Structure 1
Amino acid sequence: MDERDWMVLQVLYEEKNITKTSQRLYISQPALTNRLQQLEKEFGIKIVNRGRRGVQFTPQGEYLAKSAHEMLLTIQRIKENVLNMENNVVGTLRLGVSTFFTDYMLPNLLKRFKEQYPNIEFKVTTGFSSHVAELIHNQDVHISIVKGDYNWNEQKHLLFEESICIASKDEINIHDLPNLPRINYHTDLLLKHSIDNWWSERFTQPPLVNIEVDKLDTCKKMVVNGLGYAIMPSLILNDVHDLYKKDLQTIDGKPIVRKTWMFYHKDSLKLNIVKAFVDFMEKEFAGQ
């Protein structure tokens, strides 16, 4: 079996569907089916059964599929270690990054980093911080940049912290919030819980939500156009100067903030490419 075969098993186990697997791997369905048949012949077992409900793995096939992640990780490490022996900063840096950080900060950072190390390529996976934290736990990425205090017992570095604020086109009284139109957006659970806890400590009735959107940036545009207020991280509002903003505080007057962390494994610093990026990020956010 080669690397491509392990990738086929991993993706097929995730999708349980030949069509979706072939689309993700950019190969034809006949080629995928043929490769599975060759693997079954090689191992002398039945790997999958196909039916109306999609692909069902046999016990032997499930064992192989669950081994695929470990095998692909081993192959990746071997490649990285070989490149690392040259003592140059070269290769592909795998990053897991929260969506917000990706939209507002990452492109400029990667541009400046690549100016220093032109032989580096990037593989970036984005999503909610909960997903990004899972990526580093599973060692699917070298470094994760997450928002919020997720459990991580390995190496981490605080990049910066930002306040959580009420934002509105016009000045509002906090005591009037339950009767004012609110705009909600999809976000990670840690931020949602922080906002919900703040609300429940002050009000006995739920917010008057009249608009729900999928993205924070869309919510921001709604607020700018006077369609309601929102409670959001302050960093996204740095480029807007004509809004009313009020930072949230706990009952005892302490500011409610959200921290942005860089997570990585200590062993990964042995790779020149990881060490270079960690050093770069620490310098970029020094003193913030």
Structure 2
Amino acid sequence: MDDRDWLVIHTLFNEKSITKAGQSLFIAQPTLTKRLKQIETEFGVKIVNRGVKGVQFTPEGEYLAKRAEELLNTFREIREDIDNFNHFVAGTLRLGVSNFISKYKLPGWLKSFKEQYPDVEFQIETGYSKQIYQLAYNQDVHIGFIRGEYNWPDQKELLFEEELCVFSYNQIALEDLPNLPKIDYHTDHLYKHLTDNWWAERYSQPPIIGISVDRGDTCKEMVLNGLGYAILPSLFFNDVEKIYKIPLKTKEGMAITQKTWMLHHKDTEELNVVRAFVDFIKNLSE
């Protein structure tokens, strides 16, 4: 058994499908099936049962999958430690990034960082800010990038702050919003709470939801095609000239904004690659 075999077990346990596991590992299905049988022979146990609903792990298989995750984490830590001993900025940097930041900011960050440190590789997890917060808290990623006001017990750096705005292809007035079609999209609960409170302070009736979509990017395209208005962070439309916007304000006239944060645990800075990336991001935000 080598680390590649443990990766096979780990991936198959997560995917619950020979086909999907093969695609993830870039291994042909017959080759993966053959390798799995060799592992079963080596241990003298049945690891999985294959059925209509995919693969089902036996109790012995579940035990091996659990140990596989532990061993793969150990192998990763050993590689990171060796890179650290040599004072190199190298190895794999594990980042958790909110969906919005992963599209609008992350590619440029990684390109610039890679130019400085070509021996660094990246493992990226994307999702809603609540999910990324949990990954960072559990140290499943080295650094997390989230949007919104989450309590964080360790290192936290404000990167930037954006206005929340009503966007429309044509000019509209705030008092007309309850009678106009709104384009809604699935987003973090803290952001939704912020905009829902703004609405409740001003209107006695709920918005008319003309279209519901799953992502902010899709929502933006609907607005650009004149299908309704939407409430979005300003960064969505930074590259658009012809758009009508109304910044959201509190009743006291204060701008309503959303902040983007970088989160990590202090002890992760013992890794050269983490410390270098944290310093790199801080320099960008200054």
Per-residue Cα deviation, 1:66-94 (whole angstroms, up to 9, x for no partner):
33333222111110111111112222322
Asked if 1:189 corresponds to 2:189, the answer is yes
Which has the higher mean CA deviation after the structures are superposed, 230-239 or 217-226?
217-226
Distance in 2 between the 1:257 and 1:41 partners?
A: 59
The corresponding residue for 1:84 is 84
Distance in 2 between the 1:262 and 1:46 partners?
A: 44
| Displacement of 1:251 | 4.7
For the structure 1 residues 24 and 164, does the alpha-carbon distance in structure 2 shift closer, same or farther, using more than 3 Å as the test?
A: same
The corresponding residue for 1:211 is 211
Distance in 1 between the 2:221 and 2:53 partners?
A: 42
| Displacement of 1:227 | 2.4
Distance in 2 between the 1:194 and 1:72 partners?
A: 41
Distance in 1 between the 2:106 and 2:52 partners?
A: 43
Unaligned 5+ runs, structure 1: none
Amino acid of the structure 2 residue aligned with 1:136: A
The corresponding residue for 2:230 is 230
8 Å CA contact 2:136, 2:142 repeated in 1 = yes
For the structure 1 residues 73 and 251, does the alpha-carbon distance in structure 2 shift closer, same or farther, using more than 3 Å as the test?
A: farther
Distance in 2 between the 1:150 and 1:74 partners?
A: 30
8 Å CA contact 2:98, 2:128 repeated in 1 = yes
8 Å CA contact 2:185, 2:216 repeated in 1 = yes
Asked if 1:125 corresponds to 2:125, the answer is yes
The corresponding residue for 1:113 is 113
For the structure 1 residues 160 and 133, does the alpha-carbon distance in structure 2 shift closer, same or farther, using more than 3 Å as the test?
A: same
Give the TM-score taking structure 2 as reference length: 0.89
Tell me the SS of whatever aligns to 2:202. Answer: coil
Which has the higher mean CA deviation after the structures are superposed, 106-115 or 230-239?
106-115
The corresponding residue for 1:176 is 176
Asked if 1:104 corresponds to 2:86, the answer is no
Percent identity (aligned):
57
Tell me the SS of whatever aligns to 1:66. Answer: helix
For the structure 1 residues 72 and 250, does the alpha-carbon distance in structure 2 shift closer, same or farther, using more than 3 Å as the test?
A: farther
| Displacement of 1:231 | 0.3
For the structure 1 residues 261 and 116, does the alpha-carbon distance in structure 2 shift closer, same or farther, using more than 3 Å as the test?
A: same
Which has the higher mean CA deviation after the structures are superposed, 198-207 or 275-284?
198-207
Alignment of structure 1 residues 1-288 onto 2, 5 Å: 1-286=1-286
Distance in 2 between the 1:12 and 1:68 partners?
A: 11
